Chains A and B, each alone.
Chain A
Amino acid sequence: MIRPMIAIALKDLRLLARDRGALFFTILFPVIIAVLFGMVFGRMSTPGPLDVVVVVTQDGPLARSFAAALQADSALHVQVAANKQSGAEIVQQGHAAAVIILPEGFDDRAEALLSGGSMPLELFGDPSRAAELGLLEGKLMEIGFRQFMLAVTDSDRLRRQSAQIRRQLANDPNLHALEQTAVLKILAGAEELAAARKNEGEKKTATSVGGGMSDFRPVRIRTELLAHNQDDPPSTYAVTFPQGVVWGLAGCVMAFVTTLASERAQGTLTRLRAAPLSMHLILASKGMACVASSMIMQALLLVLAWAAFDVHPVNLAMLILAMTVNAISFTALAMMIAALFRSGAGTDGAGRALILVLAIVGGGSIPLVFMPPVLRSISVVSPFRWAIAAIEGPLWRGGSIADQFAAIGSVAIVGIVCAVISLGGMAKWRRGS
């Protein structure tokens, strides 16, 4: 019993693998949709300067100067928050990539730049915007260098720092007198240079530093990722890969409907029925192929999302369950389409049109969050909407197990309804044959 079923399923999968058109729509097209939409939506979300939030914890001149430098930078769009919590909320709401905190003691540490200190910064970033956080760290380092150059060309500030170094030298018993003299001469030279530049009115802001300073880090950044707000996707790819899954499911459904239609048109279905197999067994075998192709397609897409786009599932077991229920339910949908139309051409044409409309309405083209309210309410009739919800739950949305089961259950209900309708349709189909 099982051997002929496997033979039919493998035959269908082999034919699918050899049909470039079907293969394109079941595998390649969903990947293109997922990646392309991910890129497009990603760009849409960061069209201009990088949004950041600045929190100045201790109000000192150097902290104010650093914050002002951030605000003056054209690559950044800075909002000021009173504390870390309110800054983090802005980030978690998706309105900024990170919150930059100038912590307690910023001025003291910044004052000691020439004696080996560095400006401390704390960065709390949106985990979904890892690439932008990398850019932001680079930008903070650049601003830090500018601040450093200001420090060494500001004679008053340099004098304060020299005094501090002189005190440290005087208190250091391990330092040889010759070494002390040498360092003091260098300091005196630097002070003279700064004073001369001040007199000449050449107090310019340096914008670059020489190669010899490449190891020097004027800014020490401690980066932490904020816990993700589950209402927002961790990245645009977390939204677009479930969309890709929808198109993949549509491709699998259409491939199944097309093979069944062509089996009827070419007479191979007659040949299958002449074999020692019941019609139910033949359809179950073909359904098995559809389920297998749907599972393979979903697995490929989600592994790609995981490996290449950093979309990690929050609940792998539930994700596998969602994929399985999707595969079975959409196979039932395919069976329903095949059962409702008597002719092969009718099944193929009407089936494609129906699937296309359902996929678009269900969020295959425009994510539900961007849909106008009217379209969003219409989308409840599309099984693709529920398929997206079933995947999104364990992929990134999280929530309670009950919530995730509810989404998966909705897909299962769609599958059961389709299966019941298809059984009725196929009974008629067999009687008429």
Chain B
Amino acid sequence: MLILRDVRRAFGSLQAVDGVSLKVDRAEVVGLLGPNGAGKSTTVAMATGLLKPDSGEVEVVGFGNPMRASVRRQIGLAPQELALYEGLTGFETLVFFSRLYGASIHRDAIQCGLDEVGLASRAHDRVGHYSGGMKRRLNLAVALIHKPSLLVLDEPTAGVDPQSRAHVREIIRRHAAAGCAVLVTTHDMEEAEKICDRIAVMDQGVIRAHGTLAQLVAAHGTAEGTHARSLEEVLLNLTGRSLRE
């Protein structure tokens, strides 16, 4: 569904993404893992048409380059920030974003969208009165409201309680099972282990390794001096243990 071919993007002298190639198929959840400054958000921005690569190609299969507005209709983005209008209600938020995508969505469908993320009972409350977890769930509902073929989630469970986190993960898996391609960035190893079919570990603008959880752990997951194997060890082995800025 989504193909990135050798994409590069620099900001001044900083090469944020340096030749990333990645593929996300239908009904598949691909996780993009990496420390801060690895280039994950820049990769997501290029995958969703928010940023033009300096070189390389991005393609939403069957539709084309997401820099074209019509192609972006196929993409649902949940940015890392809680990008919501606090003065609107949850219901109004979904109506507004559905209209941006040109979707004629019935009132019932909006209510279903809110129900899916557990906000039906608070549909007519202003977003400003929602808790962090509720906002995060609404952030996801906005990405889903126009029924996209490709879902791009930038740290979708950052800063939420375990209940909301579990709920969000369940929704992601459900949509993938329904045929949606999902690209998700996260710092949460448990999340990656639970929801991702394949994982790409990224650092300093390049993908260091990618494969299934089992493949990565088998190849890179042994901790020094022990026999313990985990995704966290994979990440640390591939990206180093020094602190990042």
By a beta-carbon cutoff of 8 Å, the part of chain A in contact with chain B is 3-4, 7-8, 11, 14-15, 18-19, 266-268, 270-278, 433
Contact = CB atoms under 8 A, between A and B. Distances in A.
A323 to B, nearest CB: 27
A11 B88 contact: yes
Contacts of A267: 79-83
A112 B102 CA distance: 86
24 contacts: A3-B102, A4-B99, A4-B102, A7-B99, A11-B92, A11-B96, A14-B88, A14-B92, A15-B88, A18-B87, A19-B87, A267-B80, A268-B84, A268-B85, A270-B77, A271-B142, A273-B50, A274-B50, A274-B79, A275-B97, A275-B100, A276-B70, A433-B50, A433-B51
A274 B102 contact: no
Nearest to B139: A271
B143 to A, nearest CB: 9
Given A270-B79, A271-B142, A276 B85 contact: no
A3 B104 CA distance: 10
Contact of B83 (A3, A266, A433): A266
A422 to B, nearest CB: 21
B158 to A, nearest CB: 13
Contacts of B72: 274-276
B61 to A, nearest CB: 17
Interface string B216-241: 00000000000000000000000000
A15 B50 contact: no
Contacts of A19: 87
B50 A275 contact: no
A15 B79 contact: no
Given A7-B96, A11-B88, A266-B83, A274 B48 contact: yes
Chain A residues touching B, majority SS: helix
Top 4 nearest A-B pairs (CB, nearest first) are A267-B81, A267-B83, A7-B99, A275-B100
A1 to B, nearest CB: 9
A278 B71 CA distance: 12
Interface in B50-64: 50-51
B83 A277 contact: no
B88 A271 contact: no
Interface in B92-108: 92, 96-97, 99-102
Contacts of B153: none
B100 A4 contact: yes
A3 B103 CA distance: 10
A7 B99 CA distance: 7
A141 to B, nearest CB: 59
Given A7-B96, A11-B96, A278-B69, A271 B102 contact: no
B45 to A, nearest CB: 8
B101 A276 contact: yes
Q: Interface of chain B, helix or strand or loop or mixed? A: loop
Interface in B135-175: 142
A270 B81 contact: yes
B207 interface: no
A270 B102 CA distance: 18
A266 B88 CA distance: 14
A274 B75 CA distance: 8
Given A4-B99, A278-B69, A11 B49 contact: no
B77 A271 contact: yes
Contacts of A275: 72, 97, 100-101
Given A3-B99, A270-B81, 15 more contacts: A4-B99, A4-B102, A7-B99, A11-B85, A11-B96, A14-B92, A15-B85, A18-B126, A267-B82, A268-B83, A270-B50, A271-B79, A274-B48, A276-B70, A433-B50
Among A19, A272, A273, max chain B CB count under 10 A is at A273
Contacts of A15: 85, 87-88
Nearest to B49: A274
A271 B99 contact: no
Q: Taking each of B83, B85, B97, B100, which has the highest tally of chain A beta carbons within 10 Å of its own beta carbon? A: B100
Residue of B70, B75, B99, B142 most packed against chain A (CB within 10 A): B99
B73 interface: yes
Contacts of A4: 99-102
B87 A276 contact: no
A3 B95 CA distance: 12
B69 A276 contact: yes
A276 B73 CA distance: 5
Contact of A277 (B69, B75, B84, B87): B69
A376 to B, nearest CB: 41
A272 B100 contact: yes
A276 B68 CA distance: 8
A89 B101 CA distance: 66
Contact of B77 (A3, A8, A274): A274
Given A3-B102, A278-B69, A271 B87 contact: no
Contacts of A18: 87, 126
A277 B100 CA distance: 8
Contacts of B100: 4, 7-8, 272, 275-277
A342 to B, nearest CB: 14
Nearest to A16: B87
B174 to A, nearest CB: 22
A268 B97 CA distance: 11
A285 B19 CA distance: 36
Nearest to B152: A274
A266 B81 contact: yes
Interface string B98-132: 01111000000000000000000000001000000
Contacts of B75: 274
B194 to A, nearest CB: 26
Contacts of B49: 274
Contacts of A14: 87-88, 92
A271 B69 CA distance: 13
A274 B143 CA distance: 10
A274 B81 CA distance: 14
B9 to A, nearest CB: 12
B68 to A, nearest CB: 9
A293 B2 CA distance: 42
